[in-house]
Structure 1
Amino acid sequence: MVMQHVEETVESAGGLRLYYQAWRPPQEPRAVVAIIHGIGEHSGRFRNLVNYLTARGHAVYALDLRGHGRSPGQRGHLLSWSEYREDVRAFLAKVSAREPGRPLFAYGHSMGGLITLDYVLRHPEGLSGTIISGPPFESVGVATPLLVLSARVLSLIWPVFALEVPLEPEALCRDPAVVSHYLKDPLVHRKASARWAVEAIEANVWVKDHAAELRLPLLLLHGEEDRINTAAGSRQFFESVSFPDKKLHLVPGGYHEPHNDPGYEQVLQQVEEFLLSHVPVRAPSWDTRSTA
């Protein structure tokens, strides 16, 4: 099966033209998944997910947020978290226009999980569900008192000041080839501005405080051995969600990127089962053999 691949832009707040790409099966898709990536990465780091889902008849769209990948803006910088909400709003509107009437799911990984939850808590309309992977509710070695104080001071006097993101590349995935590719990827960066850090801290607090207000079906994925964002944070958030249509899948021995870890097929099977359980009318006769 040959998937269709397109690369385009969408206009967001401030007139920024954000890059996104899409992969579609040759037939009409069963469901549509819109990916929001993590800090410092980009839309091209989800090929396992793309290959798996398109082989099973789903369309996948992925955005490069402002300051990331092929989109413009200072790397890892924004003035307000609301800019990310506008990025997601514009992106989902574009996807909906491209795929009218099809079940649409927002998929956020790591920081993208925080961005996605912040958005869907405010604007669940038009979505059939959300999939969140490795969200940063309890990050390791990031929100130390000294770093938080430094970020808050710098955010006021020098908001664009670039801070090094204390991320351990080897903790991303148990596959050394994935880690090596990440380190060599010219579209990856490990910087975030002081203003970004403060906005991320405040968004994190807000999302956790409003977990009980979630009104969308939720699949929450987390590697049990994630050393970047601990699984304990996801467990606590999941318990705070009162909406009954929710599922937590903890990956035994898994690191930060369940979609790239060895054995990712089992994780992606959970994703597709979640999609199909929330698609109103199933399309007929698809070949479900993996080409990933």
Structure 2
Amino acid sequence: MEETTVVVPTRDGLELQVYRWAPEGAPKAVIQVQHGLAEHAARYRRFGEALTGAGYLVYAPDGRGSGRTAHGDYGNWGPDGWPGWVDDLVQLNARIRHDNPGLPVGLFGHSMGSFATQNYLLDHSSDVDAVVLSGTGEVSGLADALGGDGPADLSAFNAPFENRTGFEWLSRDDAEVDKYVADPACGWVAPAPGDFASIKRAADPAALAGIREDLPILIVSGDHDPVAGPEAAGPQIVGERYRNAGVQAVTVKLYPGARHELLNETNRDEVTADIIAFFDASLA
């Protein structure tokens, strides 16, 4: 895997620092990766190696307020707040298509990146050819949980699990949890982005009706992921909303016993293989 970096300006004056991971030889398609809250794109290198090994070119940004883009000021969402985070997907996607004309583009969003993807698809489904939502859930509940004025408190997510570090809800793999805890660019707390309530638009049937019917969508979740809600209802609700909106190829796959970070779970090889198989089938 060849690693380079690019910079993508946002509409409100930030500069997204983006990893570009290239395969040997000509890529068959591009995968745009959007990470979650309180983490960064470098944590997806293992996933990037699997994707490039399968012939994909990968763009993975450090989102606003995160990683190298934050310059140490983690949780600074910029003037545009949540709508800016969603529009950052638009700006990066435009850069990808400009740099790689003619190549299909798949979009992978995890956790907060998956919620941004849910908003993004309402107006930009024609700009991607396949979508994977990982660690996702029902947007209204998230908006209510994180929409207060103070720092977002995720500690309740760990309530069903042992409390060795407070982040056991992420994965059953203790080594992966420990790496997260030891990473100064992970686990920070901050208020939700400005205008976070606009995330609820992804539950509006009229807005969902704008998503193109032929877009393949794969929703993956651990059935013990607290973000998914009781009995992992959240991802299933999202899938049903897309089907009710007329999207024809929607698959929801739940992994027994798995928690929030499927790409860092004990069954990560299975999950990665399933995602690559989906992209292979959808982007051919």
What TM-score comes out, normalization by structure 2 length?
A: 0.84
| Displacement of 1:201 | 4.0
2:93 aligns with: 92
Q: Which residue of 2 aligns with 1:222?
A: 221
Residue of structure 2 in register with 1:30 after alignment:
28
Q: Indicate if the aligned counterparts of 1:11 and 1:18 stay in contact, CA closer than 8 A.
A: yes
Secondary structure of the residue aligned to 2:132 is strand
Aligned to 1:288: none
Identity %: 30
CA deviation profile, 1:10-51 (whole Å, cap 9, x unmatched): 111222111110111111111211111111111011133112
Partner of 1:107: 108
Aligned in 2, Cα 1:64/1:249: closer, same or farther, shift over 3 Å? same
1:1-292 correspondence to structure 2 within 5 Å: 3-72=1-70, 74-78=73-77, 79-137=80-138, 143=144, 151=148, 154=149, 162-166=151-155, 168=158, 169-194=167-192, 196=193, 199-203=195-199, 205-210=200-205, 211-215=208-212, 216-230=215-229, 231-242=232-243, 243-280=247-284
Name the SS of the counterpart of 2:195 in structure 1.
helix
Q: Distance in 2 between the 1:89 and 1:25 partners?
A: 24
In the alignment, residue 251 of structure 1 is paired with which amino acid? Y
Change (3 A) 1:165 1:96: same
- Say which SS state the counterpart of residue 193 (structure 1) adopts: coil
For these two proteins, the number of residue pairs brought into alignment is 263
Aligned equivalents of 2:132, 2:255: Cα separation in 1: 15
TM-score, normalising length: structure 1: 0.82
Pairwise CA distance, 1:199: 3.2
Give the root-mean-square deviation of aligned CA atoms.
2.3
Cα distance in 1, alignment partners of residues 28 and 277 from structure 2: 12
Structure 2 distance, partners of 1:228, 1:276, is 28
CA shift, 1:139, in A, is 9.3
Structure 1 CA distance for aligned equivalents of residues 188 and 56 of structure 2 = 32
Contact between 2:8 and 2:95, CA under 8 Å: does it hold in 1? yes
SS for the counterpart of 2:66 is: coil
Q: Secondary structure at the match of 1:45?
A: helix
Q: Which amino acid in structure 2 is aligned with residue 206 of structure 1?
A: R
- 1: distance between equivalents of 2:109 and 2:49? 17
Deviates more, 1:266-275 or 1:185-194: 185-194
Distance 2:198 2:88 in 1: 18
Residues 77-128 of structure 1: per-residue CA shift (max 9 Å, x gap): 4343221122111111122222221110111000100101211211112211
| CA-CA distance at 1:223 after TM superposition | 0.5
Q: Deviations over 1:235-292 (max 9, x none)?
A: 1111121211111111111110111111212111211121111224xxxxxxxxxxxx
3-state SS of 1:93 partner: helix
More helix, by proportion: 2
CA distance in 2, matches of 1:214, 1:249: 21
Q: Check the 8 A contact 1:113/1:135 in 2, yes or no.
A: yes
Q: Give the unaligned 5+ runs of structure 2.
A: 159-166
Bigger RCO of structures 1 and 2 (CA < 8 A, at least 6 apart): 1
Q: Which moved more, 1:66-75 or 1:215-224?
A: 66-75
**Residue identity matched to 1:208:** A
Unaligned 5+ runs, structure 1 = 155-160, 281-292
Give the counterpart letter for 1:16 in structure 2.
Answer: L
